[in-house]
Amino acid sequence: MNRFFCTALLIIVPLCLICQSYDASLGLRLGTDFGATGQLRLPQIQKNFVGEFILQSSLLREEGSLTVLGKQHRPLLSRRLNLFYGAGAHYGWTDEINPKTLEPYSRPWGLDGVIGLEATFAKINVSYDFKPAVNVGGGAFPFSAQTGVSVRYVISGRNDIWDKKKETANRKEKKKRQRERRREQKRKDRIKAGKNPNGWKFWKKG
């Protein structure tokens, strides 16, 4: 099982690192289970929607799982502090022995839910979550309730750079419109006062 866990980790981590189309974060998750976690912001699905994978191994049993979640984030006070909730699915592996058959249980798979809080400080993202899981098939137990603390490093992707450029362009356009409105208002004020609407530029017609 440990060999499978390490192999899966070596495959998934580089895949997350090259996902630069959107903001991404990658790190470790520790709680009732331990492992790796990665997040990818997916604004094309919905604003503040995040996809997460969790590759983990149990501290209590000889089993592990790969979980994929879709989460909706809701800012609290600021966008750096979020409440999140969502759902997903898991597929696992186990070396646990069925005492009735004396054979390993079949690989567990099922559905997951998640709810938690997340805070971001500069490039460090920290979250705490409660993640119940139901095994639809396989595994030694039909239900498990996991909690964990995740610490991730935030990777800025092309989308983050694009957002900054777009914000800068919008700010410049806003200032340009403000200058045009001020000029137009001065022109109107001159007309009311019976002056040349173009000010000192006497060669221009009103």
Q: Are residues 52 and 149 in the same domain?
A: yes
Same domain, yes or no, for 7 and 31?
A: yes
**One domain for residues 130 and 173:** no
The two tokens of residue 1 are 């099982």
3-state secondary structure (DSSP) of residue 147: strand
Read off the pLDDT of residues 84-95 as tens digits, 9 standing for 90 and up.
999 999 999 888
In terms of DSSP bridges, do strands 49-58 and 143-155 run parallel, antiparallel, or are they unpaired?
unpaired
pLDDT in tens, 103-157: 888 999 999 999 999 998 888 999 999 999 999 998 888 998 999 999 999 886 5
Backbone angles phi, psi at 119, to 5 degrees: -130, 145
Q: How many domains does the chain divide into?
A: 2
- Where in the sequence is the domain holding 119, given as residue range(s)? 2-156
Specify burial of residue 61 (Cβ count, 10 A radius: 0-12, 13-18, 19+). Answer: middle
pLDDT of residue 83: 95
Closest CA to 159 of 56, 20, 25, 40: 20
